[in-house]
Each structure stands twice: as structure tokens, then as C-alpha cells.
Amino acid sequence: MVNRVSYNINTTDGPHHLTITPVNELLPSGDYYATGVYKLSDGVVGMGDIIFDADMNDWDYDGIGELTYEEAAEVAEFIKNYKDPEEGDPDLLR
């Protein structure tokens, strides 16, 4: 994932319209490096990060009480299976 995307999830607190923002680092070569960190927010309210390992298999959620484990697992599965559109541009995140 190179651009932020929206994701709607029904939680125990009601529906949330999440924005998922990947954290990509710009390397000196001009290429981007996917860090495996994805920031979650609902409007301007931060809801924590989902952090994947290098293989995108294992993940951790650092939000404190924002999402249950099952809800975070749903978002992590969405991120893992997400395919960027061809016009994806990480420069748009700056």
C-alpha cells in the first residue's frame, strides 16, 4: 500500500470510517521503503498503528482500547490483501 485508503468497519462502539495511512520512508536513492507500519484514524482522531513483520504475516496493534483484537485483525487482513491502483504515488502522502 503506497497511498492512504478508506475502510469502513462496524465495531462494538458503532461504525467507524477509518483512514489507513502507510508509513513509507524515502531512501537516498529516491525509492520508497515500506516500513510495515499503518496509521489508523477516524477523522482527526488517531486510533493507533498496525505494525507488520517483514513478511506481512504477523502483526501487532498498538491502539489502546480503540479496536478489539478481532476488529484489528479485520483491518490487518484488509491491509495485507490490498492491491494498489497502478497510479499509486507515495509522494502524495507528504
Question: How far is Cα 65 from Cα 4, in angstroms, rounded to an integer?
Answer: 23
Q: What is the pTM of this model?
A: 0.84
pLDDT 10s digits, 61-90: 998 778 999 999 999 999 999 987 766 566
User: Residue 29's domain spans which residues?
Assistant: 1-67
Q: Which amino acid appears at position 12 of this protein? A: T
Helices and strands, counts by H and E, the chain: 1, 5
83 domain residue, yes or no: no
Number of structural domains in the chain: 1
Q: Which alpha helices (H) appear in the chain, and where do they start and end?
A: 69-81
56 sits in the region (left: phi over 0; alpha: psi -120 to 50; else beta) called left
28 domain residue, yes or no: yes
pLDDT at 43: 87
